[in-house]
Structure 1
Amino acid sequence: MNNLIWLLRASKWARNPPSARRVRLVLAIVALAIGVVVLERLGWWPDWARLEEGRAVRLPR
């Protein structure tokens, strides 16, 4: 049933595609997120923007 819903969404999107402005916006957000991940992996992310290990919320098991 879920596949049918996605098929209907895809057909609706094919009939009425998003504008070029919206596509550019989504691509810019994705590029920004990838850039943040790359900066963090390279170690270039500033220390003030990192999450401290002991301060994270932990869910009980």
Structure 2
Amino acid sequence: MNPRWLLKAKRWAQNPPSPARIKFIAGIIVVCLILFGVEQLFGWPDWLTPTDLRRMR
């Protein structure tokens, strides 16, 4: 483990984030999990898949 992470953890333990910030981060994680679940359930649409224009020539 990088010592920098230990210093960040120490600062976070001394000054924990506000409840609003915790709710904000939790909301972002929930949205990401919902998007992941939808992708697993319905699959990835072809129109969102990037095409390699170099191969099309």
Q: Same fold (TM over 0.5)?
A: yes
SS at 1:37 equivalent: helix
Q: Which has the higher contact order (CA 8 A, sep 6+)?
A: 1
Shift, 1:3, TM fit:
2.1
What one-letter code is carried by the residue in structure 1 that aligns with 2:49?
E
Distance (whole Å) between structure 1 residues aligned to residue 3 and residue 49 of structure 2: 44
> Once superposed, what is the RMSD of the aligned Cα atoms?
2.6
Please list the CA deviations of residues 7-44 of structure 1 after superposition, one character each: whole Å capped at 9, or x if unmatched. 11110110000000000000000000110010111007
Give TM-score, length-normalised by structure 2: 0.74
Partner of 1:52: 49
TM-score, length-scaled by structure 1: 0.69
Moved over 6 A (4+): none
Aligned residue pairs, count:
53
Q: How many percent of aligned residue pairs carry the same amino acid?
A: 34
1:6 maps to what in 2? 5
Distance 1:57 1:21, change over 3 A: farther
